[in-house]
Amino acid sequence: MSDSDKYPADSGRRRFVKGVVGGAALAGVGTTGAAAVNSATSSTGSGGGPTQAYAIENTGGPAPRGMPQIPIEIDDEGYIRGVWPEVQTVTQNGVEVELAITEDYQGTGVTYSQDWFQYCGVQTYDGLNPTFESDNYFRSDNGAYDWQSETYSAGDRLNVNDFDEYETWGNGIGQAGLGMPATGTWRSQDTEDTMPIQVLRSTRIEEAAQDNEWLAASTDQGVIAWLNKCTHFCCVPGYKQAASSATFGGEDGVYCQCHQSVYDPFSIVETLFTALPRPSE
Ligand code: FES
């Protein structure tokens, strides 16, 4: 865990959180329980607490868990955006605060909330303010892949039609034809806080979504996205970005060069972690 992943020194609060994590684990971690805890553990800010999220699985290295998925939508023109949960006003410790939380995401029973992204300092970012003004489209950064930097300028919106070689794409790292990637940002316009994201369009995701309710609801046309912040010490990993990834079995996965963590973007798992509260304003 990084320093920023640790709770402030508030012994009463920490004790309470630990107790609840144990209890929730025994009870099978119901999302209702997690939501109830949210409203009780936020003496230093909004949200946070035990959180169940969908993530791309961590399969190697020191990272403690997967990176959180961002459910996506594709508009009529093909532009890809990350879904931001509904903004709701909830009462925490007698104070009304706003939280972005959708309790039954597209009828899947999944609670999707901003808590999914509240780690590694991201909880302090402007984009994590529930009411931050954004169209939520993914925008290209400088482009980690040749095809991407040839297609987009930084700031251009990612469009599914530009991923048309997704069935065959390769760049010499690992196996070709697994999926076509791009890197970008989300909810990061007009702020210095940049939320890095990675998008991947793959036939594997298309196929998996056919008999998986969550993937059917959170991906589209084979496109999946996640917040690209390593859960170890918060570096920005990459899918097929480092030739050295092969040494650590990460050539067909998402590899973090900092300490060799590997994630599998084709294995979406539920993960439980303690989200950090958004600081009080
Ligand atoms: S493996 Fe350490 S920051 Fe990613």
Q: Percent of the chain having pLDDT more than 90?
A: 76
* pLDDT single digits (tens) 96-130: 889 999 999 999 999 999 999 999 999 999 999 99
Atom of ligand 1 nearest to the CA of 61: 1
Identify whether the C-beta of residue 128 lies closer than 8 Å to the C-beta of residue 122: yes
- Give yes or no for a contact between 139 and 188, defined as CB atoms under 8 angstroms apart: yes
Tokens 């251009």 belong to which residue?
A: 156
Return d(Cα 61, Cα 214) in angstroms, integer. Answer: 27
Range of the domain at 74: 3-279
- pLDDT for 6: 42
Q: What is the pLDDT of residues 119-128, one digit of tens each?
A: 999 999 999 9
The rounded Å distance from CA 63 to ligand 1 centre is 6
Phi, psi of 55 (to 5 degrees): -145, 155
CA–CA separation, 39 and 55 (whole Å)? 23
How many A from CA of 267 to the centre of ligand 1?
19
Could you give the dihedral angle defined by the CA atoms of residues 156, 161, 167 and 170, in that order, rounded to the nearest 10 degrees? -30
Q: In testing the pocket of ligand 1, which one of 245, 254, 261, 262 has its CB within 8 Å of the most ligand atoms?
A: 261
**What's the whole-model pTM score?**
0.85
Domain count, the chain: 1
* pLDDT in the model for residue 90: 85
User: Is 80 exceeded by the pLDDT of residue 4?
Assistant: no
Name which residue leads in pLDDT, 97 or 167: 167
